[in-house]
Amino acid sequence: MGDRDQTMSPDLPPLQRSAPPALEVTNLSFGYERHGFRLDRVGFRIFPGAFSVLLGPNGSGKTTLLMLLTRLLDSREGTIRLSGFDLRTTPSQALRRMGVVFQQPTLDLDLTVRQNLRYFAALQGLTGRRTEQRIADELGRVELSDRQRDKVRTLSGGLRRRLELARAMLHEPALLVLDEPTVGLDVPTRARLVRHVHTLAREHGIAVLWTTHLIDEIDPLDQVIVLHSGRIVASGTATDIGSDEEGGIAAAFARLTAVARAPGSVVETFSE
């Protein structure tokens, strides 16, 4: 891709185009000097109601990018804006617009379902009746209302993931970020979680950034950002990216990441 800016936006319906992006990443770079790895001028936008997939093989930079988005890491190269708020200059306002489900579980196993949610609500500044209403709404949405007094350690892995999703949604974020949330789940539970988050985006207008290396978690009209070796190598709908391949996006993904590994190769990109 040479020296061109990697900022890309997949094709989006006109309604989403008219809304400001829930997430805008521009020319973001970050390096681990000891390991020789670098995110290289990464840029993309995610709009309300869009289910966007950050797709990349293990080691592609997905987790590093999410650590930058959640301010666990900081980069002086490039900008991150959430609903227009700059993450570096207005971090509190920016982070309030984001809900996160991390790859590693972060629930307190010795607290009940409800206690975990109340604790998070307090951290988000929710109080009184508002807290109780939001807890009731989100537990109902993930079908955990009847388990709210159970300790988290009694829940299965799939139920814990649903609780983490309810927690991430408590403060009604504009953007929901999920870092490989189906790791360790069985196939039916994975499919149910994927469908549920697609519904959140479609019916409630929430912008979603879902990171994965699994093709079967992607719907044909999902917006897909393919990341490899710290660079965006393709961007568009899953259908568009796989349109020239007999095997669809799976074949395109295999080709793009294989080409990206070849020394001195030129990576084909998909953009507007």
pTM of the model: 0.86
Residues 160-199: tens digit of each pLDDT: 999 999 999 999 999 999 999 999 899 999 999 999 999 9
Checking DSSP bridges between strand 207-212 and strand 223-228, what pairing results, if any? unpaired
Structure tokens that stand for 144 in this block: 């955990």
Domain residue spans of the chain: 105-172
- pLDDT bin (cut points 50, 70, 90) of residue 38 is confident
- pLDDT bin (cut points 50, 70, 90) of residue 59 is confident
Q: What is the pLDDT of residue 53?
A: 97
Looking up tokens 């617009």 gives 97
Count how many Cα atoms sit within 13 Å of the Cα of residue 139 in the half-sphere of its side chain.
20
Q: Do 252 and 234 form a contact (C-beta atoms < 8 A)?
A: yes
What b/e readout covers 8-25, taking b as 16+ CB neighbours within 10 angstroms?
bbbebeeebeeeebbbbb
Residues 93-144: tens digit of each pLDDT: 999 999 999 988 899 999 999 999 999 999 999 989 999 999 999 999 999 9
Count each helix (H run) and each strand (E run) in the chain, helices first: 9, 11
The average pLDDT across 39-67 equals: 93
